[in-house]
Structure 1
Amino acid sequence: MTPDFHSVEPFPLFIDSAPPNSANYFSSPMAMAAIQLLATSSSSSSREPLFRKPRVSMPIKVSNYLRLRYYQYEVTFGLYMLTPREKIIFNLIIFTVFSALLFALFWGFEPFIVNGFCRLLYYITGSFSNAPQICS
């Protein structure tokens, strides 16, 4: 007994697998009129646009960009469901941690790089004689 795949699958994956009595949706007069309307409007749209986008100033673009980023930040971290007081506390904690990281980066990164360079120089040459001023 062979299974009838047309009764199992509501939307056929391929045209060949469609049942022979399926409806041809493009044969109706309404569909043909819509296709003709789309064809005529697309040929005239190449000459001039039907709808012209309004010009947006740069401050409005920047404002919209920042609003979008803040919305993404709220959705990512789940801040949209906190009260305003909880949002302020959470943002202060994030700002403090971020400031501490920046402080450590700017004040501690240079000695880290110099110390790493001196160690690498010592491992390669065996002495600090090539860079005595930096590694003293």
Structure 2
Amino acid sequence: MEYRRKQPENLPLLQRFGRWLSLKQYQIEVTFGVYMFTPTEKFIFWSVVFLLFSLTTIAVILYLPQHLLFILNRGWFYVSGGDEGSATDIAAVSKDVLSLSLSSEAMTTTPTAVAGAAGSLIPEL
């Protein structure tokens, strides 16, 4: 067995990330006993882990900006007292926030639609 030595800190970022991932894989295998599985069981286990991680990541990317916008609008409503004049201000701010968080070209219509809907919903709340 190889003894753990202090790793040099001037390694490239990709190599440090690879070492961090292998350390996490080792910790998971030791904690959950994956090292005792057969190769087929390991494949199934790591496939389920990858699937759950991927679905969580996709859900965060797709829904977190809209959820934060909703919370921001609701908080602005409670802070401002439901002034109709300020609804356009928060819609403009939320449009900027969403356009920064969703910077891909395919999703440019989503921030505009959400900001417009949020601007019309604030007076109704």
Deviations 1:15-67 (A, max 9, x none): xxxxxxxxxxxxxxxxxxxxxxxxxxxxxxxxxxxxxx9xx8958x7566554
Corresponding position: 1:123 with 2:123:
no
Number of matched pairs = 82
- Structure 1 segments, 4+ long, off by >6 Å, are none
Segments of structure 2 that go 5 or more residues without pairing to the other structure are 92-114, 120-125
- Give distance in 1, aligned partners of 2:50 and 2:72: 32
Please give the secondary structure, in 1, of the residue aligned with 2:85: coil
Corresponding position: 1:106 with 2:64:
no
- Write 1 or 2 for the structure with the bigger share of helix: 2
- Give distance in 2, aligned partners of 1:78 and 1:122: 51
- Shift of the alpha carbon at 1:120? 0.4
Measured at CA, do residues 65 and 123 of structure 1 come closer, stay the same or move farther in structure 2, by a change above 3 Å?
closer
Deviations 1:81-110 (A, max 9, x none): 110100100111111111111011010000
What is the TM-score when the length of structure 2 is the normalising length?
0.53
Q: 1:1-136 residue pairs with structure 2 within 5 A?
A: 58=11, 62=16, 66-127=21-82, 129-132=85-88, 133=91, 134=115, 135-136=118-119
What is the TM-score when the length of structure 1 is the normalising length?
0.50
Measured at CA, do residues 129 and 100 of structure 1 come closer, stay the same or move farther in structure 2, by a change above 3 Å?
farther
- Give distance in 1, aligned partners of 2:80 and 2:69: 16
